[in-house]
Amino acid sequence: MESAAALAENIQSFLAEQGEKSMLRFITCGSVDDGKSTLIGRLLYESKRIFDDQMKMLETDSKLYGTQGEKIDFALLVDGLQAEREQGITIDVAYRFFATDARRFIVADTPGHEQYTRNMATGASTASLAIILVDARKGMLTQTKRHSRIVSMMGIRHIVLAINKMDLLDYKPDAFHAIEAEYRQFAQAHCQFKTIQAIPVSALEGDYVVQASPRMPWYNGPSLLAYLEAIDVSSSLRDQPFRMSVQWVNRPNLDFRGFCGRIASGLLQPGDPVRILPSGKESRVREIIGGQGALAFAEAGHSVTLTLADELDISRGDLIVSAAQPAQVADQFEARLLWMSDTPLLPGRPYIVKLHHKEMTATVTGIKYLEDINTGAHLAAKTLHLNEIAVVNLSFSQPVAFEPYSVNQALGAFILIDKLSFETLGAGMIEFALRRASNIHWQALEINKRARALPKHQQPKCIWFTGLSGSGKSTIANLLEKRLHAEGKHTYILDGDNIRHGLNRDLGFTEADRVENIRRVAEVARLMVDAGLIVIVAFISPYQRERQLARELFEEGEFIEVFVDTPLEECERRDVKGLYAKARRGELKNFTGIDSDYEPPEAPDVHIANMNSTLDDCVSQVLDFLS
C-alpha cells in the first residue's frame, strides 16, 4: 500500500503532466446493479491514460488498472470493483482520476443502495455532470428519480442518461426510446437540468462507452466518452461580484495579518474596495498573495491570502466581498433540505450548521412541505426521515453572509450536524432569506437585566429540574420556592403540567412535540430571567439536546440543571396519577420511561438522589449550590 505522501505526489505528478487540459468532475449514480462499476471499469480500461485514486483500495486497484492502459483481463478488473463493495468501501465516495487527449476527469463512484444516499449527495456536491444509469430491462426506478432530484438539488445541470445492458435486449431500440421519453417528462416537471443526453450502452461489452457500435445502427449520437470530452460545463462565476469566505487568519507576527481562502466568485485586484460581512466594515486590498508570491489579480477558483489596508476584526467564516456589490446577510432562511440520517429531524431541536466556513447553531422552525419522490407532490410533514427531501424554514443563532445556492453553490450550501454525536444529518441549499429576517430587529431597551434585578437584591437564575414522572421534581421545586420566598427572593415556577393547560395546550407527547414543548418553556424562562426573577422549571425534559438548547439561552452561571435521580421502579410505586399503569397497559403512548426514552444528564450542576434523602436535604443541596 502506498503511503499518503506517495499517493499525493503521484496525483500531483499526473495532474502536472496533463498541462492545461480542462477538468470535468462527474458522478455516476443509479439503482443497485444498474452497472455503475462495470461502466467505470470500461471507461478506465479503454482510456489512453489512467490514474486511479481508489482511496482505501489503492494497492489492489493499481494492480488491476495499470498506468498506461496495458492489456488487462477485463473480467478481472470488474471483479476488483465488485470486491470493493464486498469489503464495505461503499460507505465512502471513491474518486477516480483519468485522462484522454482532450480532457482530464475526476469521477465520483457512489453506491446505489438507498442507505448510502448521503454518499451520493457528497459526490454530487462537487460535480458538474451526472451519469444516471438505468437498466434497460427495469426502466426508471424510485432510486432513479431520487438521485435525479438530488443532483438537481445539488446544482448539477448536465445529465447523461446512460441506458445500460442493451445487450440483454438484443440491442433493440424500443426500451431505450420509452425510457428516454419517460425520463425527459419526469425531469422537465421536477428537475432543473440544462442538458440531457440519452445514450444506449452495454458497459460489459463496451458498446457506445468509448466508441460507436455497429450493433445499434438506429442510434446516431455520440459515445459516452466522446460526449464527456466535448460537453461545455463552464460557469460564469468569474463574472459575478467578488466573494471570498475566510478559511484561516494567518498572523505569524505583529507585522503581518493575512486572510486565507478560496475565491468563490468574481475578480480581485490590489486596491479594490471590499466589505467584511456580517460586520459591514470596509477597507481596500493591499496585496494578493498566491503560492508563488504577490499576484496582479485573482479570480474565482483561486486560493489566495489577502492583506488589507486597515486593521479590522475578521474571523474564520466572515465573507470578504465587493464593497459596491455586497452579499446578503440574514439569520432566517427558506431552504431545501435532504435528510441523511436514521435519526429523524425534529423542528425546534438545535443542530450545528456549517455554511461555507461559518459554524453556529441552527433550528428548523417549520417544515413547509415534504416532496414526494415519485410524483413531486407537496406533502404535509412534522418530521423528516432518511432520504426525504423537504422545503423548510431555518433559523440561525446569528446573522451570516450568504448567497442563494442557485447563484453561488459555495456560499449557499450547508450541512446540519448533531450536537452530541457530531454525525452529519442533512445537506441543505439556501433558496432565499425570509423577509422577517431583515424586517425584524432587536429593539434597544434602556432598562437591562441587571437594573431589573437590583431592586430585588438577587442574581437572576433559571433552576431547571429534570427527571422521570414521579421522581419528585415538582414537590422539591415547590419547597424550594417556599424557602426562597421566605428569604425575600422574587421567584416563579414553570411546571410541566400547568404549562400544558395554556401556553403548550396544542402540543402532544410525540418526540417532535416534546422538543417544541421544551423550546417554548426555555424561551419563557429566558424572558423571566431577563426580568430579574429566579425562575424554577420543573419538566421531565427527557432529551439532552433540548436541555443543552435551554442552557445556551442563558449567560454563564445563570442556568442550573438539577437532576432528580429516582429509579423507575420507585417512580412507578409513587404513581399517584396512575399514568405508569396506563402506559404499561398500552393505554398511554409515548410515556417517558416506558415506551419513550429518558436521557439522564451526564454532568448536572446538582445531582439529587432522593431515594435516601429527605425533602429538606434535597432542597438544601440546591440552596448550597446557589450560595
Query: Which strands make up the sheet holding 158-164, listed edge to edge?
Result: 49-51, 94-99, 104-109, 23-30, 129-135, 158-164, 195-200
Torsion of CA 572, 575, 578, 583, to 10 degrees: -30
Nearest residue to 202 via CA among 180, 176, 228, 182 = 176
CA separation for the pair 398, 379 (Å, rounded): 30
With H, G, I as helix, E, B as strand and everything else as coil, classify residue 597: coil
In the residue annotation, 31 being an active-site residue is answered as no
CA separation for the pair 553, 536 (Å, rounded): 15
Pairing of strands 303-308, 256-265: antiparallel
CA separation for the pair 60, 41 (Å, rounded): 14
CA separation for the pair 311, 257 (Å, rounded): 9
Contact 151, 124 (CB under 8 A): yes
Nearest residue to 618 via CA among 602, 606, 601, 604 = 606
For 565, residues 6+ apart whose C-beta sits below 8 A from its C-beta are 467, 471, 600, 607, 608, 609, 610
Pairing of strands 319-322, 350-355: unpaired
Cell reading at 223: 459515445
Of residues 37, 265, 474, 541, which has the active-site annotation? 541
In this structure, what DSSP letter does residue 289 have?
E
Which ranges in 373-510 belong to alpha helices (H)?
409-412, 435-439, 449-453, 473-486, 496-499
Which ranges in 370-472 belong to alpha helices (H)?
409-412, 435-439, 449-453
Pairing of strands 319-322, 243-245: antiparallel
Residue tagged 454518499 (cell numbers) = 119
First-to-final CA distance of the chain = 62
Nearest residue to 199 via CA among 175, 221, 172 = 221
With H, G, I as helix, E, B as strand and everything else as coil, classify residue 65: helix
Residue 262's DSSP bridge partners are: 303
Contact 428, 459 (CB under 8 A): no
CA separation for the pair 42, 22 (Å, rounded): 22
Contact 392, 337 (CB under 8 A): yes
State the DSSP string of 603-620.
S-SEEE-GGGS-HHHHHH
Cell reading at 107: 469521477
Cell reading at 605: 450542576
Q: Tell me, what amino acid is at 74?
A: F
Nearest residue to 438 via CA among 597, 552, 278, 562 = 278
With H, G, I as helix, E, B as strand and everything else as coil, classify residue 98: strand
Measured CA distances, 99 to 44, 110, 208, 225 (Å):
9, 20, 18, 11
Cell reading at 617: 436535604
Contact 358, 327 (CB under 8 A): no
Catalytic residues: 541
